[in-house]
């Protein structure tokens, strides 16, 4: 005799989620119903992150709880957090591809650094000067001052942050492929700093 | 320190991406059609994004989102379907599936919703209670009644095993 779960699954089998999942569509629809909602940047960010992940890994985002292609990071500590716990918190969390090394950039006051958070206890880790070439997720903490932007240039990369938006939780994430060469980073009005990438 | 109300956009996105399949399954069961179910989920999350600062953290964010999705799916059912779109059956028409669905459709709405949230979303009694805005005891009673109503079907139905 089947149990109730078998019976229910038989009555309505699970539809194909891949055909219907569309987070940028949710943001666009939210924007339709709210004047002045700062959604354009969010759509652009979500789309560019998904596109970058596609380019980097050749497969769409997947957030199954096991074997996840994406992991969540608590930006205040730099530590990975459980996807379930991340979904229950209202604090900002950052999504990065699993297995990608994570770098952090901050632009508070006169300091602007890119730090390697992997070995640091907090995400304000030691500033980097040398890196191995490869895929990285760079999490940039955005300062609320709209006149300031963080920029990174180097082989194959020319990026600048968009102005602060509370909707982003004050962070922007770039998925980057760093190639050998010299990269320069700066905050508006401050002298640039550099780091080297080696093969 | 007082906890700041509201949910972040990223935490809503996380729930969406991690659990979309379950939201879609429940919404499809409520609306009876995968397209309308998907539309209900999209609408629910768009609403949640717009109203995320209203989230009071009295329960979990997930529970709040489940309630929004269930309400949007119920609204979809009340809304007349566009005449141009022909509703597609959720599964190929087979006598057993039809019989199962019509049997479930005859259950009172609360019993149906409790069944969907229990078996398609894998929610526990407390989460179902939060999603439907009812007491945990009411969830247990509704699930009991639904099981009792389904018992004759369970005894007479041959259900193929899904991989």
Q: Which of residues 97-156 of A touch B (CB under 8 A)?
A: none
A23-42 residues touching B, CB cutoff 8 A: 23, 25-27, 29-30, 32-34, 37, 42
> How large is the ipTM?
0.79
Region of A89 on the Ramachandran plot (φ > 0 left; ψ -120 to 50 alpha; else beta)? beta
Read off the pLDDT of each residue in B92-101 and give the average, rounded to a whole number. 63
Contact A167 B9 (CB under 8 A): yes
Q: Do residues B5 and B53 make contact, with C-beta atoms less than 8 angstroms apart? A: yes
Separation between Cα atoms, residue A89 and residue B110, nearest integer Å: 29
pTM for this prediction: 0.53
Chain center to CA of A100: 11
A79: confidence class by pLDDT, cuts 50, 70, 90 = low
- Collect all residues of chain B within an 8 Å Cβ-Cβ radius of residue A30: 45-47, 49-50
Length of chain B: 163
pLDDT band at A34 (very low <50, low <70, confident <90, very high): very low
Task: Find out whether B9 and B49 touch, Cβ atoms under 8 Å.
Answer: yes
* Chain B interface test: which of A32, A90, A95 (most B C-beta within 10 Å): A90
How much is the average pLDDT of B140-162? 76
A63 pLDDT exceeds 50?
A: no
Residue by residue, DSSP assigns chain A as ---HHHHHHHHSPPP-HHHH--HHHHHHHHHHTSTT---HHHHHHHHHHHHHHHHHHSS-----SSS-SEEEEETTTTEEE-HHHHHH--S--EEEETT-EEEEEE--TT--EEEE-SSSSSSS-PBPSEEESEEEEEEEEPPS-TT--EEEEETTEEEEPPPP-GGGTTEEEEEEEE-SEEEEEEETTS--EEEEEE-
Which ranges in chain B belong to alpha helices (H)? Answer: 9-31, 34-50, 61-78, 95-105, 109-119, 125-132, 136-156
Of A14-18, A98-102, A108-112, the range with the highest mean pLDDT is: A14-18
Among A111-115, B50-54, B56-60, top mean pLDDT goes to: B50-54
Average model confidence (pLDDT) across chain B: 80
Q: Is A85 on the interface with B (CB under 8 A)?
A: no
What's the rounded mean pLDDT across residues A171-183? 84
Q: What average pLDDT does this structure show over A155-176?
A: 75
Record the tokens describing residue B147, joined without a space. Answer: 């099981």
Q: How confident is the model at residue B114 (pLDDT cuts 50, 70, 90)?
A: very high
Give the residue with greater pLDDT, B157 vs B135.
B135
What is the residue-averaged pLDDT of chain A?
65
> B104, B30 in Cβ contact below 8 A?
no
A136-153 residue pLDDT tens: 877 777 766 777 788 899
Chain B contact set for A88 (CB, 8 A)? 11, 60-62
Mutate to test the interface with A, among B10, B11, B57 (most CBs of A within 10 A): B10
Q: Which residues of B touch A84 (CB under 8 A)?
A: 18
* β-pairing verdict for A181-187 and A193-198: antiparallel
């Amino acid at each position: 005799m089947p149990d109730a779960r078998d019976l229910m699954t038989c009555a309505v089998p699970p539809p194909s989620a891949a055909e219907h999942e569309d987070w940028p569509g949710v943001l666009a629809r939210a924007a339709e119903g709210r004047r002045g909602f700062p959604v354009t940047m969010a759509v652009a960010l979500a789309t560019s992150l998904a596109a970058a992940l596609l380019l980097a890994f050749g497969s769409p985002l997947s957030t199954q709880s096991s074997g996840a292609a994406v992991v969540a990071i608590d930006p205040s500590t730099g530590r990975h957090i459980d996807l379930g716990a991340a979904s229950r918190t209202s604090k900002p969390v950052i999504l990065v591809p699993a297995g990608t090394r994570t770098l952090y950039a901050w632009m508070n006051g006169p300091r602007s650094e890119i730090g390697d958070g992997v070995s640091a206890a907090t995400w304000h880790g030691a500033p980097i000067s040398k890196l191995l070439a490869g895929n990285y997720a760079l999490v940039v903490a955005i300062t609320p001052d709209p006149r300031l932007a963080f920029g990174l240039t180097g082989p194959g990369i020319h990026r600048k942050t968009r102005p602060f938006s509370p909707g982003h939780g004050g962070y922007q994430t770039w998925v980057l492929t760093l190639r050998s060469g010299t990269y320069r980073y700066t905050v508006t009005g401050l002298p640039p700093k550099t780091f080297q990438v080696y093969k | 320190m007082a906890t700041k109300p509201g949910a972040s956009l990223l935490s809503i996105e996380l729930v969406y991406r991690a659990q979309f399949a379950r939201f879609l399954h429940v919404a499809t069961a409520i609306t009876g059609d995968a397209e309308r179910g998907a539309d209900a989920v999209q609408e629910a999350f768009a609403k949640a994004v717009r109203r995320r600062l209203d989230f009071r953290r009295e329960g979990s964010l997930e529970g709040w989102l489940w309630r929004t999705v269930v309400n949007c799916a119920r609204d979809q059912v009340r809304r007349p379907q566009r005449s141009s779109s022909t509703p597609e059956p959720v599964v190929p028409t087979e006598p057993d599936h039809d019989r199962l669905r019509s049997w479930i459709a005859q259950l009172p709405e609360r019993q149906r919703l409790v069944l969907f949230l229990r078996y398609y979303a894998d929610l526990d009694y407390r989460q179902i209670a939060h999603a439907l805005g009812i007491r945990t005891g009411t969830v247990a009673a509704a699930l009991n009644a639904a099981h009792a109503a389904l018992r004759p079907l369970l005894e007479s139905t041959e259900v193929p095993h899904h991989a």
